[in-house]
Structure 1
Amino acid sequence: MGLFSSQFSNVVEWEEYRDDLIFWKWSNKEIKKGSRLIIRQGQDAIFMYNGKLEGIFTDEGSYDMESQIVPFLSTLKGFKFGFNSGIRAEVLFINTKEFTVKWGTKNPVSIEAPGLPGGMPIRTFGTFNFKVADYMVLIEKIAGIKKQYAVEDIKERVTSILNQLLMKWIAKEGKNKFNLQANAFDIAKGIREDLDMEIIKLGITVTGFNIESFTYPEEVEKMATKVASHSMINDMGKYQNVSIVDGMASGNMKGGGTASDVMGIQMGYMMGKQVVDQMQQNKNVNNVASQETTTSAAPKFCPNCGVKTQGTKFCSNCGYKLI
């Protein structure tokens, strides 16, 4: 009898486990008398019979099918294993961990920018996190027809709508189009909420979204640095015109032609000018503070009696208020 039980029994477990699989389905096999279910750490097991969910098991361990699993299934709790009879069911193994995925824009995203009718192309990258949230929806939308589902499938779905969401939330939260990193947190928060509304339709929730960096065109970044370094030139418009003429004369302009190079210079000029303006604002604030300090300082001689003061609020000779 032991020979036959070992011959017909089987082990129901995740046989093709990979770190990047969201779920894997054990199917097309008959569960015989003496079979066991093995659930490992970070896994949940869902029994399905005739396409319907029968039971969910979340505790890791090794279980006897006949005595520990079947009695808890919805429609199969009264099933009796015989010598040749078994259950042809499916077991869906769910990876319960939170996944972290790197993302990046495949093509530049063109965003609106002041003074640039055609917009400014940028690239950006970061990470997002997700996990399975609703088993019933997952079975209905994906697991009912697929044997397995990988992280790459979710990444492909996310990146297909990411450019649109980037443009939407940069327009809402990107107060400074030439320094989007300053508003990266608010932009990422908005994108995460929209992504979650889209992915939850698959039974999966987006638990985090992070923007690590925004990248501007190389010629724009170089020109911004150059313009900022020439902040001592008061007439920035004159500097811009001279730069364009010099570039044309030297033949060093790169890109898709003179028009694109001029656009790069203009964008770089605007970025650099913002840096210069900020420096000037800081300088003005410091000057005002310095003037206030100077104005409030005590006079060197008392205006009442002419005696030299000692830096006090009142004259030591006549008591006249100095400050």
Structure 2
Amino acid sequence: MSFFRGQLANVVEWEEFRDDMIFWKWNNREIKKGSKLIIRPGQDAIFFDQGKIEGVFKDEGEYEVESEIVPFLSTLKGFKFGFNSGMRVEVLFVNTKEFIVKWGTKNAINIPTPQLPGGMPIRANGTFQFKVTDYVKLIDNVAGVKDSYLVEDVRLRITAILDQLLMKWITREGKDMFNLQANSFEIGNGIQEDLDMQVNSDGLEITRFNIMSFNYPKEIQEMITKSASHGMIGDMNRYKDVSMTDAIASGKSEGGNTATDMAGMMMGMNMAQEMVKGMNQSQSSNPQQQSQPQQNNNQSGAIPNFCPNCGNKTAGMNFCGNCGHKLA
């Protein structure tokens, strides 16, 4: 008797589990007396017969089918296991986690724009997330004809229509074609809604759609970068000052670099002129203070340490060795 009991017992479990598998079907076998159901973490077990769900079991663990499963099945509660007979029913194991999938446009999408008659070729990439939410729809439209379903199957389905949705939401309401990243959140939300409508009939839900980056052709990207840098500078005079500062701060002026040496000299002259200008303004505001230093200078004939015209060190000479300005 024990020999026959061992032959009749089954273990109902997800035998081919893969992390990228959405569901796997245990079918074409009888569940016999003494069978056990094993549910692992992150799995749901759905008993169904002829496309109709008999029961859904979510808690992980090991269960006796006869005493712990059959009594809860909707139309098979009265089933009695015979000595040599079993219950033929299909069990669908579903991966309950939320799947994260990377996506990217294979070819550039030509987005219509007035600036470029032929359209602007743009590529994009990011991620989307989805999970199973409706077991009835999943069995009716997918599991009824498939024994397993992979994440790759969903990814291929999504990317097949993604180009059209990107074009739809990028061109919607006149988005700035040269700064699409600023609108990536809004574009992603619109695409998520459309994709969710596409997969909802199969019991799936798109829970999130992210656009990580938009990629322009090299020439357009260079133009965008240059335009942004000019916008940060503001005007050419400020651009000149920043360039001079960069040349000196880089330390490349050592070793006879004419351009950076000239930049340093020009900055020194400008600083000296600003200092003299400030001094003159201060003296002009107080005529008494202005006349007194002039008289003292004329009487003493002292030579300043730095040229008031260019800022160069005077070394005690009567004329500046850099610009020729008279010092005494």
- The answer, yes or no, to whether TM exceeds 0.5 is yes
Q: Tell me how far 1:307 sits from its aligned partner.
A: 8.6
Conservation of the 8 A alpha-carbon contact between 2:166 and 2:191: yes
SS in 1 for 2:59: coil
Conservation of the 8 A alpha-carbon contact between 1:26 and 1:90: yes
Aligned residue among 232, 237, 242 for 1:279: 232
Q: 1:201 to 1:106 in 2, by over 3 A?
A: same
Q: Tell me how far 1:175 sits from its aligned partner.
A: 3.2
Tell me which amino acid in the other structure corresponds to 1:278.
G
Match of 2:46 in 1: 46
SS in 1 for 2:101: strand
What runs of 5+ residues in structure 2 fail to find an aligned partner? 240-280, 290-328
Tell me which amino acid in the other structure corresponds to 2:171.
A
Conservation of the 8 A alpha-carbon contact between 2:47 and 2:56: yes
Conservation of the 8 A alpha-carbon contact between 2:51 and 2:140: no
Match of 1:257 in 2: none
Q: What TM-score do the two structures reach when normalised by structure 2? A: 0.70
Match of 1:293 in 2: none
Q: 1:307 to 1:162 in 2, by over 3 A?
A: farther
Distance 1:93 1:283 in 2: 67
1:113-262 paired onto structure 2 within 5 Å: 113-172=113-172, 175-221=175-221, 224=222
Does the alignment pair 1:22 with 2:22?
yes
Conservation of the 8 A alpha-carbon contact between 1:22 and 1:149: yes
SS in 2 for 1:45: strand
Match of 2:294 in 1: none
Q: What TM-score do the two structures reach when normalised by structure 1? A: 0.71
Q: Tell me how far 1:300 sits from its aligned partner.
A: 5.3
Q: Tell me how far 1:9 sits from its aligned partner.
A: 1.1
What runs of 5+ residues in structure 1 fail to find an aligned partner? 225-267, 287-298, 309-323
1:263-278 paired onto structure 2 within 5 Å: 268=223, 271=224, 274-275=227-228, 278=231
Q: 1:282 to 1:14 in 2, by over 3 A?
A: farther
Fraction of identical pairs, as percent = 60
Distance 1:189 1:300 in 2: 61
Q: Deviations over 1:156-183 (max 9, x none)?
A: 1100110011111111377321222222
Q: Deviations over 1:260-296 (max 9, x none)?
A: xxxxxxxx4xx3563265236588999xxxxxxxxxx
Alpha-carbon RMSD across the aligned residues, in angstroms, is: 2.5
Distance 2:238 2:189 in 1: 34
Tell me which amino acid in the other structure corresponds to 1:142.
V
Distance 2:89 2:238 in 1: 75
Match of 2:12 in 1: 12
The count of aligned residue pairs is 250
Q: Deviations over 1:134-193 (max 9, x none)?
A: 111111111111111100110011001100111111113773212222222221122112
Distance 2:48 2:11 in 1: 16
Q: Deviations over 1:191-224 (max 9, x none)?
A: 1122112111211001111111111123433xx2
Q: Deviations over 1:245-272 (max 9, x none)?
A: xxxxxxxxxxxxxxxxxxxxxxx4xx35
